A and B are shown apart, each in its own frame.
Chain A
Amino acid sequence: MKALRRTLDKMKPQFQKGGKFEKLHSTFDAFETFLFVPDITTSRGSHIRDANDMKRTMVIVVIALIPALLFGIWNVGFQHFISIGETATFWDNVLFGLGKVLPIIVVSYVVGLGIEFAFAQIRHHEVNEGFLVSGMLIPLVLPPDTPLWMVALSTAFAVVIGKEVFGGTGMNILNPALTARAFLFFAYPASMSGDKVWIAEKADAFSGATPLAEAAASVSSGKAIEFSHSISDMFFGFIPGSIGETSTLAILIGAAILIITGVGSLRIMLSVVVGGLFMGGLLNIFAINPYMAMPAYIHLIAGGFAFGTVYMATDPVTASQTNKGKLIFGFLVGIMAVLIRVLNPAYPEGMMLAILLMNVFAPLIDHYVVQANIKRRLKRIPKPVKA
């Protein structure tokens, strides 16, 4: 490693002020700090620092996404071969899935990181690590057949309009990955909704409806919900859907990683689940159609609820930032997600919209939590005694 270090040290002056490649300073810095944790020491304040940094934190989230990613790759193949009626081995499924998923991931990272590097360069900032996570989240919330140009376009939109115009990482209001998905959802609805898109290269004859679509269909038909998948299929993820969202089990493994390491907020995750169950239960009580009467727990394992709860709602930048605010934020996300799913026939999946909506309200929630703190402080001051 010493040779590598020496090479970097030799190259470094050229990228610093006055050097030949001064304009590429941020890029060099990003690669150098990727290879080596820098030798910067503390100068003021605390002389020692926690070993944890932004890179480590973001990498933990990426690691937590791996179970959902691996399962997603396999499931893309699995669903495809079921739809065309062929029997396939485990490796057939994986190979097919890789062929579909890998290009999407590559496009998402290349486009997103390219823009991030460019902005860092223009602003003379370091490249922030936030996109390591967003770049993996975007593919996992897209249908497997999404054309690559759409991936590129939505990623560019999410990074530029969703993040950089607000000042970059840490300043954005909306979750970038969901911004990408919402952009596609509204710009190209045909590729993002309906029964056709959730299975890669689906045979036309095969239904391919997701459990949520089947549940929503019961509202107009008035008949009882006919799921073509069992509850355990939904939990383990043997259902059509976006690449990474189907397996509640894989997502739970990711959740465990996030909670044990302390990177993801348990508060938010729990309160989203409680909110979803609460709203589901409330709808059960006032049920006037089969969807409203559907057991509330099915909401948790169908569609993107689990994925959104664990990886999207917990985004520290766009969620509420106070601990109390997080509880309120999560609870409302759960309520809104189920509410949109069941009561708005235009949007069979409510999770994305619920989180984006609450992203917008998160600063307001924080405002009231902080105001309560301020009021407590003011109340402490003894009132002047009247003469």
Chain B
Amino acid sequence: MPKTIKLTRGLDIRLKGEAGKTLKEVSPRLYAIKPTDFIGVFPRLQVKEGDHVKAGSPVFIDKYRENIIYTSPVSGTITEIKRGDKRLLLEIKIEADGRDEFVDFGAASPAALSNEEIIGKLLDSGLWTMIKQRPYGVVANPDVKPKAVHISAFDTAPLAPDYDFIIQGKSKDFQTGIDVLAKITENKVHLNVSKTTSAAEFLQCKNVTINTFSGPHPAGNPGIQIHHLDPINKGDIVWVVGVQEVVAIGRLFNQGRYNPEITVALAGSEVIAPAYYKTHRCASVFEILKGNVNEGNNRYISGNVLTGTRIRPDNYLNFYDSMITVIPEGDQYEFLGWAMPGFNKFSISRSFFSWLNPGRKYVLDSNKHGGERAYVMTGLYEKVLPMDIYPLQLIKSILFEDIDLMENLGIYEVEPEDFALCEFVDVSKSEIQTIIRTGLELMRKEMS
């Protein structure tokens, strides 16, 4: 029995609207690939409006890394290429034709293929983009062998999907996906599971090192797990792949095609019947939300409430996301709100009386609960960041752009998501995740 890494620092935010363990199916018609989902990509379009694409056809490539191809999840027609300020490519919209045509990449056992053939297959099918690299959180570089690959088999974020449920029946594809990663990295795959999991799909996996974690959020973040297993030093490259991405890679080798099926959790206090949905990567969320959301001013999020992206209810799932959250908007004033006893206010501190009721679940809205202020409080971020990193010092080093200090303070080990709770608890109401991303981008430019 492997030993459990127990994390004590962190915070579980108890929200209402957890997805029930029922699986519904929707067949989306509209899709959009958003280059903005991928950090640091300079997209060069391979299609124009009106073109017909199959599942697995190239849609755009990275101008500076031309072998990295981003492909269509579905067969259909390119209906719109949406650009924003300075012609920034925002969305490539595809309308499915329902014919399910796909590019055949050929089913094959990873054991029978050479590493070059495997990597080639992943790049051609566009599934290579499912492998993210630390530091910086960009799509991995196929020319560099990583120190390790980490797959987190659980998500501790508020209302996060339960991968024990999602993985059911996908054990074969998951194992193939792991075999693929193990082959090209020479068996350096880590599967990080929760102490509470009983899913045989994870526990009986072969070709992996299984590590067990327990503790509050962010214990499920790969960044935290890597930090405790084998931290990223300067010059190290580590790959991170999500559970559903491993399944998709497995399917590529078992079925020979890009199969975009994923299971997403629809959760949040404004959802009438929170549940799991079988849908497609990059698909419109419209069919999922239809008739299942309370009337009113709501915030729709692709991803979880801490790290997700704000979307409109007719928008699309982000490439890497496995959940949709709907919470109320908080754009209202509250009379003397800072002075109220606050029995219904969630806080890590005990400055509201809600701490007297520890089991309660909350409806939290998007209100910031205060204006932005100077950094005054100390010791608060440390309570929710289970890493041997000084968060305030790192944040400040990024703000004054001291590259050496950022490096010394451990910027390579972090991703914005690891600091999401710091941002949540911050009484100064600063945008810490944005600061961390800025720091990582500074580093990336400096090092390239």
Question: A-side interface residues toward B, CB under 8 Å?
Answer: 1, 4-5, 29, 33, 35-57, 59-60, 126, 128-130, 168-171, 260-263, 265, 267, 316-317, 319, 321-323, 326, 366, 369-370, 373-374, 376-378, 380-381
B305 at interface, CB cutoff 8 A: yes
Interface 1/0 per residue, B30-71 and A, CB below 8 Å: 000000000000000000000000000000000000000000
Known pairs A33-B371, A48-B364, A323-B382; A39 contacts B427 (CB<8 A): no
Q: Which residues of A contact B338 (CB under 8 A)?
A: 37, 53, 55-56, 59
A37 touches B367 (CB 8 A): yes
Interface 1/0 per residue, B368-391 and A, CB below 8 Å: 111111111111001000001110
A36-B334, A50-B347, A50-B425 known; 4 new pairs, CB 8 Å cut-off, are A49-B423, A51-B352, A55-B370, A128-B373
> For residue A324, which residue of chain B has the nearest CB?
B390
Q: Which residues of B contact A376 (CB under 8 A)?
A: 388
B335 at interface, CB cutoff 8 A: yes
Size of the B side of the interface (Cβ < 8 Å), in residues, is 74
A1 touches B335 (CB 8 A): yes
Q: Which of A29, A38, A169, A321 is within 8 Å of B392, CB to CB?
A: A321
> In the complex, A57→B327 CA distance in Å?
26
> For residue B373, which residue of chain A has the nearest CB?
A54
B331 at interface, CB cutoff 8 A: yes
B306 touches A46 (CB 8 A): yes
Q: Which residues of A contact B348 (CB under 8 A)?
A: 50, 52, 262
Q: Which residues of B contact A46 (CB under 8 A)?
A: 305-307, 420, 423-424, 433
Q: Which residues of A contact B15 (CB under 8 A)?
A: 48
Q: Which of A51, A128, A169, A262 is within 8 Å of B345, CB to CB?
A: A51
> For residue B351, which residue of chain A has the nearest CB?
A261
Q: Which of B13, B333, B376, B410 is within 8 Å of A377, CB to CB?
A: B410
> For residue B325, which residue of chain A has the nearest CB?
A47
Minimal beta-carbon separation of A253 from chain B (angstroms): 16
Known pairs A36-B336, A53-B427, A323-B382; A45 contacts B420 (CB<8 A): yes
Minimal beta-carbon separation of A357 from chain B (angstroms): 20
Minimal beta-carbon separation of A93 from chain B (angstroms): 30
A51 touches B423 (CB 8 A): no
The 4 closest A-B CB pairs, nearest first, are A53-B370, A170-B374, A37-B337, A51-B345
B410 touches A47 (CB 8 A): no
Minimal beta-carbon separation of B395 from chain A (angstroms): 11
Q: Which of A38, A41, A170, A262 is within 8 Å of B375, CB to CB?
A: A170
> For residue A259, which residue of chain B has the nearest CB?
B350
Question: B-side interface residues toward A, CB under 8 Å?
Answer: 13, 15, 158, 231, 233-235, 299, 301, 305-308, 310, 325, 327, 329-339, 342, 345-352, 364-379, 382, 388-390, 392-393, 408-410, 416, 420, 423-429, 431-434
A56 touches B301 (CB 8 A): no
Q: Which residues of B contact A57 (CB under 8 A)?
A: 349, 351, 376-377, 427
Q: Which residues of A contact B299 (CB under 8 A)?
A: 41, 47
> In the complex, A44→B306 CA distance in Å?
10
Q: Which residues of B contact A319 (CB under 8 A)?
A: 378
Known pairs A37-B333, A46-B305; A261 contacts B349 (CB<8 A): yes
> For residue A32, which residue of chain B has the nearest CB?
B333
> For residue B336, which residue of chain A has the nearest CB?
A35
Q: Which residues of A contact B390 (CB under 8 A)?
A: 322, 369-370, 373
Q: Which residues of B contact A60 (CB under 8 A)?
A: 351
Q: Which residues of B contact A322 (CB under 8 A)?
A: 378, 390, 393
> For residue A374, which residue of chain B has the nearest CB?
B408
> For residue A9, which residue of chain B has the nearest CB?
B333
> For residue A48, which residue of chain B has the nearest CB?
B364
> In the complex, A49→B342 CA distance in Å?
15
Q: Which residues of B contact A377 (CB under 8 A)?
A: 233, 408-410
Known pairs A41-B331, A47-B299, A49-B429; A56 contacts B367 (CB<8 A): no
Q: Which residues of A contact B373 (CB under 8 A)?
A: 53-54, 126, 128-129, 169-170
A45 touches B351 (CB 8 A): no
B350 touches A261 (CB 8 A): yes
> For residue A171, which residue of chain B has the nearest CB?
B374
Show 13 A/B contacts (Cβ-Cβ < 8 Å), sorted by A. Answer: A1-B335, A5-B333, A29-B371, A35-B335, A36-B333, A37-B338, A42-B367, A44-B433, A52-B349, A57-B351, A170-B376, A317-B376, A319-B378
Q: Which residues of B contact A171 (CB under 8 A)?
A: 374
Minimal beta-carbon separation of A173 from chain B (angstroms): 14
A52 touches B427 (CB 8 A): yes
Minimal beta-carbon separation of B414 from chain A (angstroms): 12
> In the complex, A373→B331 CA distance in Å?
41
Known pairs A316-B376, A323-B379, A370-B390; A41 contacts B330 (CB<8 A): yes
> In the complex, A48→B351 CA distance in Å?
18
> For residue B420, which residue of chain A has the nearest CB?
A46
Q: Which residues of B contact A35 (CB under 8 A)?
A: 335-336
Q: Which residues of A contact B306 (CB under 8 A)?
A: 46-48
Q: Which of B342, B379, B428 is within 8 Å of A51, CB to CB?
A: B342
> In the complex, A169→B377 CA distance in Å?
11
Q: Which residues of A contact B377 (CB under 8 A)?
A: 57, 316
Minimal beta-carbon separation of A60 from chain B (angstroms): 5
Minimal beta-carbon separation of A362 from chain B (angstroms): 10
> In the complex, A168→B374 CA distance in Å?
9
B331 touches A128 (CB 8 A): no
Known pairs A37-B369, A130-B376, A370-B409; A56 contacts B233 (CB<8 A): no
> In the complex, A59→B368 CA distance in Å?
18
A262 touches B370 (CB 8 A): no
Minimal beta-carbon separation of B447 from chain A (angstroms): 16
A50 touches B369 (CB 8 A): yes
Q: Which residues of A contact B409 (CB under 8 A)?
A: 370, 373-374, 377
> In the complex, A50→B330 CA distance in Å?
13
A51 touches B368 (CB 8 A): no
Q: Which of A48, A129, A169 is within 8 Å of B13, CB to CB?
A: A48
Known pairs A316-B378, A322-B390; A44 contacts B434 (CB<8 A): yes
> In the complex, A51→B427 CA distance in Å?
9
Minimal beta-carbon separation of B366 from chain A (angstroms): 4
A41 touches B233 (CB 8 A): no
A44 touches B234 (CB 8 A): no
Q: Which residues of B contact A128 (CB under 8 A)?
A: 373-374, 376
> In the complex, A54→B369 CA distance in Å?
10
A51 touches B378 (CB 8 A): no
> In the complex, A43→B329 CA distance in Å?
11
> For residue B334, which residue of chain A has the nearest CB?
A37
Q: Which residues of A contact B416 (CB under 8 A)?
A: 45
> In the complex, A323→B310 CA distance in Å?
35
Q: Which residues of A contact B231 (CB under 8 A)?
A: 380
> In the complex, A47→B299 CA distance in Å?
9
B424 touches A53 (CB 8 A): no
Q: Which residues of B contact A53 (CB under 8 A)?
A: 338, 369-371, 373, 427, 429
A51 touches B434 (CB 8 A): no
Q: Which of B325, B375, B388 is within 8 Å of A373, CB to CB?
A: B388
A54 touches B423 (CB 8 A): no
Minimal beta-carbon separation of B220 from chain A (angstroms): 16
> For residue A266, which residue of chain B has the nearest CB?
B379
Known pairs A41-B331, A50-B346, A53-B370; A370 contacts B393 (CB<8 A): yes
A54 touches B370 (CB 8 A): yes
B434 touches A263 (CB 8 A): no
